[in-house]
Amino acid sequence: MKVSITSKDALILVDIQNDFCVGSLAVPNACDIIKFVNSYIEFFEKNNRPVFATRDWHPKNHSSFKEFGGIWPIHCIQNTDGSMFYKDLKLTDETIVISKGTNPDKDAYSGFDGTDLNEKLNNLNIRRLFIGGLATDYCVKATILDALSFNYTTFFLHDASKAVNLKPDDEALSINEMLKAGAILIDLNDLIQ
């Protein structure tokens, strides 16, 4: 499927942070997506389209951590090295950063959950979203399902996403769920340069 970029399009990169790339909750082979992600960034910047980057921005006592009853190791604590965007990610000063998971009592997988992402997209008159990042089976999926629920045309960037795969078929099941909900799977070579 070939897709050309329009004035109603935005790129959303989900949680490409140190802890998910190489740190305490590293997604297997996460760094393999960086070259694709950087190509998407370059493509959207060249077309003067906005780039959003979501990040987990947890307080030290976040409820998703095992020691506070959650299922995850401690990760992405605000202002720590683990919470920073991965060093090889070529974000620019124009990138719009969306912080999520800031409420200690509430997990937030989606970039829309408890943030002003939807409001910012509406203010920019965005109607189509191109979404990839970490991890396919958690925060990418949640962000895509929310985007669809807000009636955005939503593209899943398959080559710019990796899954945790706590269970072996998690990635396949997540992709299937996103596509059933209306997401459109594309890769970099589907974009009309």
CA distance 108 to 64: 9
Q: What are phi and psi of 177, to 5 degrees?
A: -65, -40
pLDDT digits over 54-80, tens only?
A: 999 999 999 999 999 999 999 999 999
pLDDT at residue number 193: 74
pLDDT digits over 119-131, tens only?
A: 999 999 999 999 9
pLDDT digits over 76-108, tens only?
A: 999 999 999 999 999 999 999 999 999 999 999
Catalytic residue among 21, 100, 146, 159: 100
Catalytic residue among 21, 139, 141, 159: 139
Say which amino acid occupies 166. Answer: L
Q: Which residues partner with 72 through β-bridges?
A: 65
Q: Which CATH architecture has domain 9-190?
A: 3-Layer(aba) Sandwich (3.40)
pLDDT at residue number 1: 83
Structure tokens at 127: 């109607």
Every domain of the chain and the residues it spans: 9-190
Question: For 116, left (φ over 0), alpha (ψ -120 to 50), or beta?
Answer: alpha
- 21 flagged as catalytic: no
Tell me the percentage of the chain whose pLDDT exceeds 90.
Answer: 98
pLDDT at residue number 28: 96
Q: What is the mean pLDDT of the chain?
A: 97
Question: Is residue 144 within 8 Å of residue 112, measured between CB atoms?
Answer: no
- 15 flagged as catalytic: yes
Q: Which residues partner with 157 through β-bridges?
A: 186
- 76 flagged as catalytic: no
